[in-house]
């Protein structure tokens, strides 16, 4: 494993510049300490690597192809490649992380897995690996989200997971997270909490970024030169972290993170945590998030459920502050247009989240020689209802 640590990755205390850390209830200290003391050693062990690499290959179908998109390249007059995370088993990059964390949980001797989920994508990816490993799985989900994400709730149940409704607050992701943390406090020895993005207290952001870094490791192996741009959408930031990871120290590669603007960054109906947010604390870490004058976290909005998160991982808050990453945003309408464009030019229906990354293409001042990699984080089957509504409008 690569021993060199980029200055853009977390330091020993889990800080990315001013961001990160572990702001947790006293009662969780033991769980976090246990994870902090063991996760890197586990990931570097031969037994973990053997099983992780084998599952990524035979179960997920990695390496995912790096596809040269001729017609998109013609349209934007540049060399555009798509990293096909949409072809992974379960349809997105999320499984790279859940396989890794569940294997770590097993090595720590944990028999019970908990997770929180918003739209249900992370819940499904977690329930999938728990089914594979024969582990008990409890997924917390806001009652509002349960009502509007019926297919993913059904998938989790079919996979053998118990879906528990969070009935407090707005009954969405934030409330599900609170319930999951409460569960972890109440089950301090047998339970592992699988977090779905590069968020949460240290060491989660660092661990999830490393598990997703297989994306940029493969991109580097699949290309004969460095790209000029790597573009990815950001909700919490895990697919972007994975796509950027091995390029962090290649300063000539422009890293482009695309947030969901929703109805527009100047409106209240947005999930653009960097464009509209400021410094605060969410999910146990110090980062950029959307909050009102009283410091209350505001409810985010995006047409895409996976980007509908009020904060952003501390890695990205720092990449933006250090000007290492370029942060852009795309509205609901721009993302929809990009989704239809890719579908009609390439026969690939992208996830709405990934469509936000594609929507950055017309906004980049591309030259014909520019090589661009867009991380296609997921497939669009789950978004057909939204696409159908768009066609009928
Ligand atoms: C969940 C999800 C995202 C957003 O999560 P990140 O942690 O920001 O990657 C993006 N794309 C797809 C397909 C997703 O399912």
Q: What is the CATH number of the domain that holds 185?
A: 3.40.50.1100
Whether residues 381 and 249 share a domain: the answer is yes
The chain-wide mean pLDDT, for the chain, equals 96
Mean pLDDT computed over 84-110: 98
Indicate the number of domains in the chain: 2
Q: What is the predicted pLDDT for the residue at 338?
A: 98
- Cβ contacts of 90 within 8 Å, gap of 6 or more: 124, 125, 128
Whether residues 190 and 304 share a domain: the answer is no
Whether residues 116 and 219 share a domain: the answer is no
pLDDT tier, 4 (very low <50, low <70, confident <90, very high otherwise): confident
In the predicted model, is pLDDT for residue 139 greater than 90? Answer: yes
* Cβ atoms of residues 163 and 141 within 8 Å: yes
Distance from the CA of 240 to the center of ligand 1, in angstroms? Answer: 9
Query: Does any domain span residue 6?
Result: no
Structure tokens at 7: 């200055």
Mean pLDDT computed over 250-279: 94
Whether residues 382 and 246 share a domain: the answer is yes
Domain stop point among 178, 207, 236: 207
Give the tens place of pLDDT for each residue, 314-347: 999 999 999 999 999 999 999 999 999 999 999 9
Q: DSSP readout, 268-304? A: SS---HHHH-EEEEETTEEEEE-B-TTSPBPPP--SS
Query: Does any domain span residue 44?
Result: yes
pLDDT tier, 308 (very low <50, low <70, confident <90, very high otherwise): confident
Structure tokens at 98: 């859940």
Domain stop point among 180, 207, 234: 207
Residue 139, strand partner residues: 115, 163
Q: What percent of the chain has pLDDT over 70?
A: 99
Query: Does any domain span residue 143?
Result: yes
In the predicted model, is pLDDT for residue 354 greater than 70? Answer: yes
Domain stop point among 176, 191, 207: 207
Q: What is the predicted pLDDT for the residue at 120?
A: 94
Whether residues 201 and 267 share a domain: the answer is no
pLDDT tier, 3 (very low <50, low <70, confident <90, very high otherwise): low
Q: What is the predicted pLDDT for the residue at 293?
A: 87
Whether residues 51 and 141 share a domain: the answer is yes
* Cβ atoms of residues 62 and 83 within 8 Å: no
Nearest CA to ligand 1 atom 10: 353
- Cβ contacts of 47 within 8 Å, gap of 6 or more: 107
Whether residues 275 and 321 share a domain: the answer is yes
Query: Does any domain span residue 2?
Result: no
Whether residues 263 and 119 share a domain: the answer is no
Whether residues 160 and 288 share a domain: the answer is no
User: Where is average pLDDT lowest: 41-45, 239-243, 309-313?
Assistant: 309-313
Query: Does any domain span residue 167?
Result: yes
Distance from the CA of 307 to the center of ligand 1, in angstroms? Answer: 7
Pocket test for ligand 1, best of 215, 271, 377 (most atoms within 8 A of CB): 377
Query: Does any domain span residue 5?
Result: no
In the predicted model, is pLDDT for residue 212 greater than 70? Answer: yes
- How far apart CA 111 and CA 199 sit, in angstroms, is 23
Whether residues 217 and 352 share a domain: the answer is yes
Q: What is the predicted pLDDT for the residue at 142?
A: 94
Query: Does any domain span residue 315?
Result: yes
Residue 112, strand partner residues: 136, 191
Query: Does any domain span residue 40?
Result: yes
Distance from the CA of 284 to the center of ligand 1, in angstroms? Answer: 20
pLDDT tier, 1 (very low <50, low <70, confident <90, very high otherwise): very low
- For 306-338, letters b (16+ CB in 10 Å) and e give bbbbbbbbbbbbbbbbeebbbbbbbbbebbbbb
Q: Which residues participate in catalysis according to the annotation?
A: 94, 116, 377
In the predicted model, is pLDDT for residue 114 greater than 80? Answer: yes
271 lines ligand 1 (CB under 6 A): no
Domain range spanning residue 166? Answer: 15-57+94-207
pLDDT tier, 176 (very low <50, low <70, confident <90, very high otherwise): very high
Whether residues 217 and 328 share a domain: the answer is yes
Whether residues 128 and 175 share a domain: the answer is yes
Q: What is the predicted pLDDT for the residue at 148?
A: 85
Q: What is the predicted pLDDT for the residue at 23?
A: 97
Pocket test for ligand 1, best of 90, 125, 197, 231 (most atoms within 8 A of CB): 197
């Amino acid at each position: 494993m690569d021993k060199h640590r980029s200055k853009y990755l977390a330091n020993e205390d889990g800080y990315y510049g001013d961001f990160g850390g572990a702001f947790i209830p006293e009662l969780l200290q033991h769980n976090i300490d246990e994870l902090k003391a063991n996760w890197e050693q586990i990931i570097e062990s031969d037994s973990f690597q053997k099983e992780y690499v084998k599952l990524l290959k035979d179960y997920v179908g990695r390496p995912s192809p790096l596809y040269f998109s001729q017609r998109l390249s013609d349209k934007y007059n540049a060399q555009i490649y798509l990293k096909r995370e949409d072809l992974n088993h379960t349809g997105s990059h999320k499984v790279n992380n859940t396989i890794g964390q569940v294997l770590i949980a097993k090595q720590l001797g944990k028999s019970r897995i908990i997770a929180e989920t918003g739209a249900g994508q992370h819940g499904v990816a977690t329930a999938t690996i728990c089914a594979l490993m024969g582990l008990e799985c409890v997924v917390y989900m806001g009652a509002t989200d349960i009502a509007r994400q019926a297919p993913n709730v059904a998938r989790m149940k079919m996979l053998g997971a118990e879906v528990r409704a969070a009935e407090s607050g707005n009954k969405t992701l934030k409330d599900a997270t609170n319930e999951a943390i409460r569960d972890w406090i109440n089950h301090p020895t047998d339970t592992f909490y699988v977090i779905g993005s590069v968020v949460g207290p240290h060491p989660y952001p660092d661990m999830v970024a490393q598990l997703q870094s297989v994306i940029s490791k493969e991109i580097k192996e699949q290309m004969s030169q460095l790209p000029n741009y790597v573009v990815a959408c950001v909700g919490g930031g895990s697919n972007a972290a994975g796509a950027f990871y091995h390029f962090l120290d290649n300063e000539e590669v422009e890293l482009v993170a695309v947030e969901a603007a929703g109805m527009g960054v100047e409106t209240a109906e947005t999930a653009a945590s960097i464009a509209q947010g400021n410094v605060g604390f969410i999910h146990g870490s110090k980062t950029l998030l959307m909050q009102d004058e009283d410091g209350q976290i505001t409810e985010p909005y995006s047409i895409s459920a996976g980007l509908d998160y009020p904060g952003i991982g501390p890695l990205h808050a720092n990449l933006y502050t250090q000007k290492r990453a370029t942060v852009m945003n795309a509205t609901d309408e721009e993302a929809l247009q990009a989704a239809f464009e890719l579908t009609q030019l390439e026969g690939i229906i992208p996830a709405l989240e990934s469509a936000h990354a594609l929507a950055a293409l017309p906004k980049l001042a591309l030259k014909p020689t520019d090589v661009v990699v867009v991380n296609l984080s997921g497939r669009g089957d789950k978004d057909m209802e939204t696409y159908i509504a768009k066609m009928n409008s």
